[in-house]
Amino acid sequence: MINIKELVKKPNPLASGHRTCRGCTAIPEVVRTILRASDKPVVVANATGCMEVTPTIYPQTAWNVPWIHSTFESAGALISGVETAHKALKRKRDMPDVNFIAFAGDGGTYDIGLQSLSGMLERGHNCLFVCYDNEAYMNTGIQRSSATPYGASTTTTPDGKIHHGKEKFRKNLTKIAIAHEIPYVAQAAVSHWQDLYMKAEKAFKIKGPKFINILAPCTLGWGFPENMGIEISRLGVETNFWPLFEVENDQYKINYKPAEQKPIQEFFKHQKRYKHLFKSENKHIIEKIQQHVDKEWKELLKNI
């Protein structure tokens, strides 16, 4: 297993000065960890979102690898086309092997980009699609997405006298990816960087379509102190809100089991988007969420 000293010696795919929010966990950690796991040159397709906007404010860019901006909805289609073009060129001339990767937030993955992602997976392109899931449309004003959890307050699902945050459970996109019967699907979290590196390294070595869904807390949208992003991610794992697991050729493996599962309140209590749930009249909402988390965890264990 790689250690942090070995990791930082690898070429930096994303330079400093990229203009992300202070305390951002999604962009620097996700990009640098995943791309450093590749043993080949990479080509990146990047859907519109925080990861696209902040490192590429004209006329500057922080990307140190070949990088292509796509629209919100088409990262999967774009990287599919690049991979196909490379395959065609290799038949005509000597070309180096390349790892193709698409990055998108939950808006560009769960919602607007779902059809493009599904097409990439179903057609069998040799590409890795990575979702950095910060659970709302953070780049455009913190609106709810289908990745937004039950009870979370956003600008389009605010806490009020009648409604108390989002009233639907989030879409389980990892399950949807698994249903495509592709070679590799995984869930990861920025707090567990060695696990993330291992999954990216494995994905790059597997032929065919791959998908990794990463919990990436957002200090702006979730409302926690700038120095707590990694701890918030860790609590997401320790409460089983975001289990770490992988599915390789239909074989499930849980990568981390909490020694003692923490109650969901431990994950919520540092986040302003959940502060309304700690009112006595909203106690039943937390109880409902805890029941859902426990049910999902038990269902996951049945696959092992």
Reported in sequence order, the residue ranges of the chain that DSSP labels E, i.e. its strands, are 42-47, 67-70, 99-105, 127-133, 184-189, 210-215, 245-248, 251-254
Best CA proximity match to 4, nearest among 193, 218, 273: 193
Percent of the chain with pLDDT over 70: 100
Tokens read off for 75: 């990262």
| H/E segment holding residue 283 | helix 283-301
User: Residue 17: what pLDDT?
Assistant: 83
**Contact between residue 209 and residue 185 where contact means Cβ atoms under 8 Å apart:** no
List pLDDT tens digits, range 268-300: 999 999 999 999 999 999 999 999 999 999 999
How buried is residue 91: exposed, middle or buried, by Cβ count under 10 Å (0-12/13-18/19+)?
A: exposed
- Convert the pLDDT of each residue in 185-224 to its tens digit: 999 999 999 999 999 999 999 999 999 999 999 999 999 9
At residue 238, does pLDDT exceed 80?
A: yes
| Tokens read off for 268 | 């919520």
Residue at token pair 């074989």: 251
Residue 170's pLDDT band, with cuts at 50, 70 and 90, is very high
pLDDT in tens, 118-151: 999 999 999 999 999 999 999 999 999 999 999 9
Contacts of 94 (CB under 8 A, 6+ apart): none
Report the alpha-carbon distance of residue 13 to residue 47 in Å, rounded: 17
Domains of the chain and any CATH numbers:
4-301 (3.40.50.970)
Q: What is the pTM of this model?
A: 0.96
